[in-house]
Amino acid sequence: MAPSKVKADAKARSIATPTPSLDATRSEPVGLSPADIQATSISTANVIPHAIKAAELLFLAAVSSPVSQMTLSPVYGSIPPSIYHRHLIMAAVLLAWTAKKTVVHEYVPKNVPNYLPLLAFCIPSIQFFLFQQSGWLGPRYGPVVTELFTYFPLVVLSVYSAAMFMDSVDLSQFDPRIQNAGPGIASYALFSIAQRASTYLIRYKIGSSLLFTRWGLQSGVAAFYAVLLPSRVLLFAILPMLHSASLNPHAPLEQTTGVLNAILHEHNYALLARKESLTGYISVLDNTKEKFRVMRCDHSLLGGEWLQQPNAPSSRLTEPIYSVFTMLEAVRLIETASSKESRLVPDNEKNALVIGLGIGTTPAALIAHGIDTTIVEIDPVVHELATKYFHLPSNHTSVIDDAMYFVGKALVAGPDYYSYDYIIHDVFTGGAEPVGLFTEGFLAGLRDLLKPDGVVAINYAGDLSLPSASLVVHTVRSVFPQCRYFREDASLIQSSSSGSKKMAPDFTNMVMFCRKSSDAFGFRDPVEADCLGSQARRYHLLPKHEIQASYFEDRPGDGELLVLKAGHTQRLEADQKESAIGHWRIMRTVLPDVIWENW
């Protein structure tokens, strides 16, 4: 072959087989067809919307946790519903995940998420009917039964539906560890954070608008479920929505408030006011037959007064229905061998600090004696209703704040600005005491705010047979060198024998009178001026039923008596559960079931 022909063939082959360009090296991955690439892009696009919908369902279930607890508190108090609430959540989540990851899911309808909004709208009506059974269900199991038919299925369906949406999300492009553990960890983190954040937000905003009421929050959660999961099933929610807005007395609407008053009138009660606030559901009620008025906080009474006073026409104050509040006024009667001269100091030159207002029985009496009185109350609604319906005098210093913050601020300012002759510590509400206000640190702060001859009266309401009572007394004695203890009424409980392992329940109000000095003290006999023309004060002002300090020592079941310190209050909190249950039963003897159940 001629050389020229060989060169021409080589050139032709070079033109027919071009060298791969840079763009050609960036061609589609080997082994992936166009259909595979398209499927991958679609699954990636589905990750975000499906993951968001799953997160929204978990978020709504978490927000419903504090809402469910709040709606139970007027009927059962704040503590009994919390005893098994976390266990119910764990059981609901476990049931939902188990059903989704086992053969059970094959028998569950694919449209099960559509029933979530319907259930959410039905919950207020279900609660309304179940609350009518609270009397025989009791405080221990009533909340459990109620949540088994309301919050429990809501969590089960929410978690199951969230798992359905997550199953449609393709996580194959992620690490296998993320595929297996990621959804569970993320779900737990989201639920926990949302639950805590919503609890804080609701506490801060409760009562500020119709939305931030128990009924408003339930309706709002149901509406969000409906927006998230719209379907024809929602047509079945019309009936419970109409019942909730027109016949359910728990709704704070004009129509439903009329329904509530109609129910109360049948039992000789009338509702004067009701509001929701950070300490609970607050209302003022009149008994139209026996002629007394009370202020209610959840499943407890903050105090009450008689509307008619035929035996005390000259009384300068209304007559309280509870004697313990007049007994607190006995701080004015305390005297020691070295302090009898202090009686020469007129009341109008003394001052007092009252922590916890209630209806204002004790501070109103101190003000009537001319004592410069400062009232620290955390709940503005309590102060508002005490002023409007229980004649709390306006000539006092009002501090709407947390008592711990106020005492801390007062200690920083020093005795030149904050120093008191009398301190009244009365913070019982809703069946339990705020544990932080019984710690050694807080009580030491009160001691430092007292003048050298000052007196503090601490009201402890609870079961004196429980170890928590001994714990509180031991803590008080560690701060104040000299104390005496008095119960509201005579004890009907015989002392436990040394061989007994458990003392009989003994629920009462106990007032601890303490001084910052070690001098022994007594009580002078009250004169007519001390009683302010009040029959109740003539009988109950002077403490009568003393409890010896030895009663709280070496008792069966108490164990080692420690001092209650901030951050180490588990022992007191544990006993509060039993104390709250006992308090619930007592409250059901004070007011009929129908009052508590219909709010």
Whether residues 479 and 586 share a domain: the answer is yes
pLDDT of residue 525: 94
Confidence of residue 20 (pLDDT cuts 50, 70, 90): very low
CB neighbourhood size of 415 (10 A): 13
Q: Residue 454 CA to chain centroid, in angstroms?
A: 34
Handedness of CA 371, 377, 380, 383 (dihedral sign): negative
Task: Kindly state the tokens that stand for 517.
Answer: 């000095």
Q: Are residues 363 and 487 in the same domain?
A: yes
Confidence band (pLDDT; 50, 70, 90) for 492?
low
In a domain, 314, yes or no: no
pLDDT at residue 589 greater than cutoff 80: yes
pLDDT of residue 192: 95
> Given a cut of 70, is residue 502 above it in pLDDT?
no
Strands 300-306 and 372-377: unpaired
- Mean pLDDT value across residues 352-371: 97
In this structure, the answer to whether residues 234 and 358 fall within a common structural domain is no
> What mean pLDDT comes out for the span 213-225?
98
- pLDDT of res. 96: 93
Per-residue pLDDT tens digits for 154-213: 999 999 999 988 877 666 667 777 667 777 788 899 999 999 999 999 999 999 999 999
Radius of gyration of the chain (CA): 33
Question: Is 8 domain-assigned?
Answer: no
The CATH number assigned to the domain holding 375 equals 3.40.50.150
* pLDDT score at 157: 97
Name the band, by pLDDT with cuts 50, 70 and 90, for residue 503. Answer: low
Q: What is the residue-averaged pLDDT of the chain?
A: 87
Task: Indicate the residue among 230, 247, 264 that finishes a domain.
Answer: 247
Helix/strand/coil (H, E, C) string of 162-178? HHHHHHCCCCCCCCHHH
Closest CA to 454 of 364, 531, 539, 350: 350
Task: Determine the structural domain holding residue 183 and report its residue range.
Answer: 43-247
Residues 350 and 243 in one domain: no
334 and 480 assigned to the same domain: yes
Q: Are residues 360 and 216 in the same domain?
A: no
- HSE-CB at 421 with a 13 A cutoff on CA atoms is 22
Token pair of 501, please?
Answer: 């392992």
- Highest mean pLDDT among 85-99, 343-357, 415-429 belongs to 85-99
9 pLDDT higher than 70:
no
pLDDT tens-digit map of 472-484: 999 999 999 999 9
Whole-number pLDDT of residue 339: 66
Question: How does residue 41 score in pLDDT terms, banded at 50, 70 and 90?
Answer: very low
Residue 317's pLDDT band, with cuts at 50, 70 and 90, is confident
User: Does the structure show a pLDDT above 60 at 85?
Assistant: yes
- Give the chain's length: 599
Residue 21: the pLDDT is 42
Res 22: pLDDT: 36
Counting residues of the chain whose pLDDT is more than 90, the rounded percentage is: 66
Are 105 and 197 contained in the same domain?
yes
Per-residue model confidence as pLDDT tens digits over 118-139? 999 999 999 999 999 999 999 9
Q: What's the CA gap between 170 and 182, in Å, rounded?
A: 13
Asked, for residue 589, whether it belongs to a domain, the answer is: yes
Please check the confidence at residue 26 and state whether its pLDDT lies above 80.
no
Q: What pLDDT, on the 0 to 100 scale, is given for residue 18?
A: 46
Q: How confident is the model at residue 430 (pLDDT cuts 50, 70, 90)?
A: low
Beta 420-425 vs 450-463: how paired, if at all? parallel
Residues 6+ apart with CB under 8 A from 168: 46, 50
> Which of 588, 598, 581 minimizes the C-alpha distance to 81?
581
Total number of domains in the chain:
2
CA-wise closest residue to 415 among 353, 370, 362: 353
**pLDDT surpasses 50 at 261:** yes
Q: Is 489 part of any domain?
A: yes
Mark whether 63 and 210 lie in a shared domain: yes
Tell me, yes or no, whether 132 lies in a domain: yes
- In Å, what is the CA distance from 23 to each residue of 26, 27, 33? 5, 7, 19
Q: pLDDT by residue (tens digit) across 517-547?
A: 888 999 999 999 999 999 999 999 999 999 9
Domain C-terminal end among 224, 247, 270: 247
User: Within 13 Å of residue 405, how many CA atoms lie on the same side as its CB?
Assistant: 7
Residue where one domain finishes, among candidates 247, 265, 291: 247
27 part of a folded domain: no
Residue 553 lies in a domain: yes
Give the confidence band of 27 by pLDDT, cuts at 50, 70, 90.
very low
Confidence of residue 8 (pLDDT cuts 50, 70, 90): very low
Digit-coded pLDDT (tens) for 454-473: 999 999 988 888 888 899 99
Q: What is the pLDDT of residue 259?
A: 97
Model pLDDT, residue 431: 58
Q: Which residue has the higher pLDDT, 22 or 126?
A: 126
Q: Which two tokens stand for residue 284?
A: 């003022």
Q: What is the dihedral of CA 185, 187, 190, 192, to 10 degrees?
A: -80
Do residues 304 and 483 touch, judged by C-beta distance below 8 A?
Answer: no
Q: Is the pLDDT of residue 241 over 90?
A: yes
Percent of the chain at pLDDT above 70?
Answer: 85
- 219 with 354, same domain: the answer is no
Helical (H) or strand (E) element with 283: strand 280-287
Same domain? 578 vs 438:
yes
Inside any domain, residue 364: yes
CATH number of the domain bearing residue 81: 1.20.1250
- Judge if 110 and 238 occupy the same domain: yes
Distance CA 153, CA 91 (A): 11
How far apart CA 127 and CA 116 sit, in angstroms, is 17
Residues 420 and 564 in one domain: yes
Contacts of 87 (CB under 8 A, 6+ apart): none
What amino acid occupies position 14? S
